[in-house]
Each structure stands twice: as C-alpha cells, then as structure tokens.
Chains A and B, each alone.
Chain A
Amino acid sequence: MAGEDGNGFMIVGANYRRHEVMAKRDGVWRRLRKMPLFSIALLVVIILGCLMARFLANHDPGKFYLSNLSQPPNSEFFFGTDSLGRDIYSIIWYGGRVSIFIGLLATCVITIIGVTYGCISGMAPEFLDNMMMRAVELAQSIPVLLTVLLIVSIMDTQNVVTLSLLIGSVSWFSLARIVRGEVRQIRRSEYVLASRCMGASFMRVALKHLIPNFVSAIMFVVISSVSTSMSMESTLSFLGFGLPAEVPSWGNMLSLADRALLMNTWWVIVVPGLFLVMTLLSITAIGYYFRSETNKRPSNL
C-alpha cells in the first residue's frame, strides 16, 4: 500500500483503495460461471417439455386406463399410473403448463398490486403513508392460509385465472413494503423533484424515475414469488381447495397422495413432487442470482 515518489520518500497509503477501482473486470466466461447454469438448464428443459406436451405425451392425460390401476413405472407408462388409472408421465407435462402458468399469472398480479401500492404509499403524504402501511401490517398479521381458506370457502369452484388472482391477491404485502421503502429513499432526490416541477404526472414519475430505480431491488422478490405462488397452488390443491379434479396440475396430482399412502404407491407421490420441487428450486436459484450483493466489507471478527 505504499508508493515511492521521485525523491525516494515513501508515501504511505498513496495507492490505498486505488487497486480496488482498477480491479479487473470479469470476463464473459467468469460472469457466465457465476450464473446458476444448472438451474437455468433444468428449468428450460422442464418448460420446453411442458410446451411440447402434445408431442411428449404418449397417452391421453384425461383418460382413465381402468385395466392399469396403480401400475408401477414400466415401459408403457414411464412414471406409472395413479389409483384412477391415469398415465402420470403424460399428465406431468400437461400439468406443468397449468402450474407454471398459475405461478406466472399470480406473480403478475403480485407485481402490479405491490408496485402500485408501494409507489402510492411511498409518494403519499405522511399520514396516508402511515395508514396504508398499517393496513398492510394488519393484513400480514393474519396467517395467509387462513385468509385463503376464508376466501375459498366463499367462492364456488376455481379455475386457473381465479386461483391465480386469489393467490396473487394475498401475497403482495411484502413486495409493497419493499417498494415503499425504496420509493421513500428516492422521492426527495433532485431528478424526481425536477420532473415534478416540470409538471410530470404521478404515472410518469413512477414509470420514468421510480420503477427503473428499484427494479433491481425487487427482482429477487418478484422471481421468488413465482415459486411461492406455485407452492401455494399445490398446497391448496392438496388440501382440496384448488382446481377441479379434471384440470391437470402438479398440485392436483399430489391431492391423490392420501390414497397413494394407503396403497403404498410411491411414484404417485414422488414423481409430481420431484418435478414441482425441481422447478421451485431452479426458480429460486435464479432469483438468488439477481439478489443484489450486499456490501462485502471485510469482517471485523
């Protein structure tokens, strides 16, 4: 950390901190290696498989093969059949479409509500902001599952869209709080002030200045809400509050788990569950990649 000047004196700390700025930029290969390549590959395979379900499936996913009830995996039924005689291998691909679609749609709902609510609350005057945040805290203090049970018991039957709306409408609270915190930090900055002085509307300020500034901060929450929504869908379907039985989804397949336990047919439980868990973990790993690195100061300990 010392440099020598022309007169032979040591200047202590002359290039202190400088080498950090000059640190070599990561090359393409190193940056690529930091990415969760395995998770991305796995996710791509699963999504492609679901999109091409029609070509992959070798049986009709809705058909009951009554002469083949609870068959273990074999060459005809690759993942076996469930207690109703349906081919698990074929349903996996069709069911994946539904599960992933619900995850994405619910995430859209969460993002739209959360960002809008957070922006309004962040830009609002003190008392309104306080009130909006108290309301969120109150809503957050009730177990999510209880809220969902209450709403589900009121609704008649679910379809893909209503279920996504339901999941989205009970899970946006933490996103709204993060957005609000970020907006609070930048609302007083000069460019927001300048923009408002020039008469920009709330929408314009939000779209041009607020959202681009916090988009990296909420990336992790948004991506991992895909996996929490999918997880919620499967939990609801398992408890019997999800989609009607004839719509294939990974959660719905697992709702047969009770019967599978009695008959000890492990493939009915393990196969859809593994697909679900692999997807969830891949999405989470990708989300972690987007999580902004916390400042890596050296530890004092």
Chain B
Amino acid sequence: MDAFGPKKGIFPSGMGRRIGGRLLIFLFMMLFLSVIVFYVSRLAPGDPLEAFYGDATQSMTAPEMEAARTRLGLDGSITEQYVKWAASVIQGDFGISLRHKRPAWDVVRPLIGNTLILGGTAYIVVFVLAVILALFCARFEDSLADRLICKIATAAFYIPTFWLGVVLVLIFSVNLRLLPSSGAYDIGKAGSFSNRVRHMILPMIVMVASHLWFYAYMIRNKLLDEIRRDYVLLARSKGLGRTRILITHCLRNVLPTIVNIMAISIPHVLSGTYVAEAVFNYPGIGALAVSSAKYHDYNLLMLMVMLTGVLVIISSMLAQSINEIIDPRMKAGEEAY
C-alpha cells in the first residue's frame, strides 16, 4: 500500500472523512457504554419490580407479576431486555423511573437546565481564573506571591468538596444568615434572576475552589516550560516586554493544551456538580443521581450515564476540532509533532 497516496473512504474530503470517522467512534463508544452499564445494573441484588410496586408485589398473583414484568421490560434474558431497551431508546423512550413512576426522561428534563447553569458557569469561571492565575504565577515565577498562591490553592484543592460546602453553609447561612443554604431558587421565584444568583454563590465558590488549582497548576507548568524556549529569548532581545511575550507568544502556544485540558476536565467538573448539588440540595442531575442510586432506580441512572457519556464524548471531539483550527499540525490520525 502506498502510504503517501490518497486515502479512500466513504467521505471524499479529509474533513468529512474525519467527522464521519468520529461519528462512528462516537456510536461505538455509546454502544459499548450502554451495554456495560445495562449488564452491570441488572446484576444488582433486589428485584426492580419490588422497587417499583413496593409491598404490593407480595399480594400479586403470578400472572399479574408476569404482566407487570412485561410492562416494565423485565421479562426475558438480559440480552433480550437490552435489545428491547436499546430499541425504545432509539425512539426516545428511556423507560419508567422506578422511583418516581414517571417516564425517566420527564424526571430528568427539568433538572438538566439547572445543572447546566451551575456546571457551565463554574466551568467558565474556573478556566478564566485558571488562565489568569497561571499567567500571573508564570510571570512572577518563584516570587513570594507565586509561592503563596501555590500553597493556598493546593490546600483548597485537597480539602474535600463536601466539607468545604458544609462549612460555608455553617458560616454564611446558619450563622451570618447572608445566603440561602439550599435549593436553586425560593418557592415562587423561579424567574427571578437575582434570587437564582444568590442561591448559586455558595455552590459556585465550592466548585471553583475545588477545581481551580488543579487546572491552574497544569497551565502554569506548561507556561513555565514554554518560557524556557529559545523564541522567548529572541523576543526579549528584540525588546518586547515580559507580560506581552507571555500573552502574545507563550499563551498562544499553550492554547491547544488548554483546550485539551478543558475537554478532559468535563467529567471532573461534572463529578464536582454531583457533590455540590448533594450538599446544597440543588435540584439538578447530580442530586438526582445520588438519590436514584440510593433507591436502586436503574432506568434513571442509565439515562444519566448515557447523557454524561454523550456530553463527554462530544466535548472531547469538539476539543479535537478546535485544536485543528488553532494548530493545523494536529490532524487526527497523523503523528502529533
């Protein structure tokens, strides 16, 4: 085979082929994920039927139970159940939440927005601050301020998220009575912007404190490697200012790494929203995942795993595409420089 000849594929142009390839990988990964999660969840002890009907199962007759199993999609072998489940998922039906006794999608849908607001804002704040902090630390490397920031931020990163949240609630809600301790908004004030903001301050502080340094430190180290390159010496000798070199040259070279880090960080930040939502009783996906794990509500958990999977895979693909725009040397399939 001629390695340099034009490669042939379903898609004629290079870009199209890459997108097509990625879509295939995406579908494959989703399939893989769903099979594993499905099988694992059916290994569980405890009858889902009991979780759904409670004590009523004991007074059911055998044919009634059979009918109930068929209705909930619990009859047949696991493989048959999976095929049935997958078929209905393609039609947009994720099954019935065993705990809420409503379609799982209806339970999750109103909460997605809340989580996206909290997680998305935290995500943006974390990365904006991380880049600023990293630039500052790289500019004044080994100064007192740099070392102080490193120490404090490392400590903040290793303090358990939930404890930080509880302590903040203890200080600001219980004792100072400045901020609300739970929920996304007060009853009847769902539309009020300021009310929502007030409810988001504490969860945001917790999320930012527990994620910021991890990423700021990575970016800082990358920048420190970068300012030891020769082009920095050249730029210095032609008389450019330090801050300007850092921002216009070094930061630009580090950007692909930052985009990569941002893509990888999504599951991490999502994990953070789980804890923050659970601590602050914030009505979102995370708090729902925690409670549905408590009540063995597998259909709901499945849906949330799938949603997370879609989000994560899409974002990593997006990061790859953005990187190709920033740095054309990084083409998928070709050796990165």
Contacts and interface: CB of A to CB of B under 8 A. Distances in A.
Interface string A279-301: 01100100010000010011111
Contact of B246 (A138, A269, A301): A301
A153 B51 CA distance: 13
Interface string B171-209: 001110000010000000000000000000000000000
Contacts of B218: none
A227 interface: yes
Given A234-B162, A239-B290, A281-B159, 10 more contacts: A149-B274, A154-B41, A154-B43, A235-B162, A254-B162, A264-B175, A270-B167, A273-B160, A273-B167, A301-B141
Contacts of A280: 158-160
B149 interface: no
A144 B271 contact: yes
A91 interface: no
A239 B170 contact: no
Contacts, number: 145
A238 interface: yes
Interface of B: 29, 32-33, 37, 40-41, 43-45, 138-139, 141, 154-155, 158-163, 166-167, 169-170, 173-175, 181, 221, 224, 227-230, 232-233, 236, 242, 245-246, 264, 267-268, 270-271, 274-275, 278, 286, 289-290, 292-294, 296, 298, 301, 304-305, 308-309, 312-313, 316
Interface string A115-149: 00000000000000000000000101111111001
A284 B170 contact: no
Q: Which 10 A-B pairs have the closest CB atoms?
A: A149-B293, A153-B293, A300-B232, A143-B271, A154-B44, A301-B227, A143-B267, A145-B271, A300-B233, A273-B163
B181 A261 contact: yes
Given A150-B37, A300-B232, A277 B159 contact: yes
B166 A254 contact: yes
A150 B45 contact: no
Contact of B236 (A152, A234, A298, A300): A300
Contact of A276 (B44, B160, B246, B278): B160
B214 to A, nearest CB: 11
Nearest to B315: A141
B159 A235 contact: no
A144 B308 CA distance: 12
Contacts of A149: 274, 289-290, 293, 301
Nearest to B309: A142
18 contacts: A142-B267, A144-B267, A145-B271, A149-B301, A154-B40, A154-B41, A261-B169, A269-B163, A270-B167, A273-B163, A276-B160, A277-B160, A280-B160, A281-B155, A294-B224, A299-B228, A300-B230, A300-B236
Given A235-B160, A300-B233, A140 B267 contact: yes
Contacts of B230: 300
Given A146-B305, A281-B155, A300-B229, A141 B267 contact: yes
B242 A153 contact: no
A239 B221 CA distance: 34
Contacts of B286: 145
Given A156-B45, A264-B174, A146 B289 contact: yes
Nearest to B297: A153
Interface in A148-174: 149-154, 156
Contacts of A270: 167, 170
Contact of A231 (B158, B170, B245): B158
A241 interface: yes
A266 interface: yes
Contacts of A62: none
B304 to A, nearest CB: 7
B166 A150 contact: no
A297 B245 CA distance: 19
A257 interface: yes
A240 interface: yes
Interface in A176-216: none
A301 B296 contact: no
A238 B280 CA distance: 13
Contact of A150 (B41, B167, B242, B309): B41
A37 B183 CA distance: 44
B274 A143 contact: yes
Contacts of A281: 155, 158-159
Contacts of A238: 162-163
B308 A142 contact: yes
A149 to B, nearest CB: 4
B228 A241 contact: no
A270 B141 CA distance: 35
Contacts of A142: 33, 267, 305, 308-309, 312
Contacts of A227: 158
Nearest to A154: B44
Interface in A221-273: 227, 231, 234-235, 238-241, 254, 257, 261, 264, 266, 269-270, 273
Contacts of B228: 297-300
Contacts of B268: 143
A42 to B, nearest CB: 13
A229 to B, nearest CB: 12
B296 A153 contact: yes
Contacts of A153: 41, 44, 292-294, 296, 298, 301
Contacts of B245: 301
A79 to B, nearest CB: 16
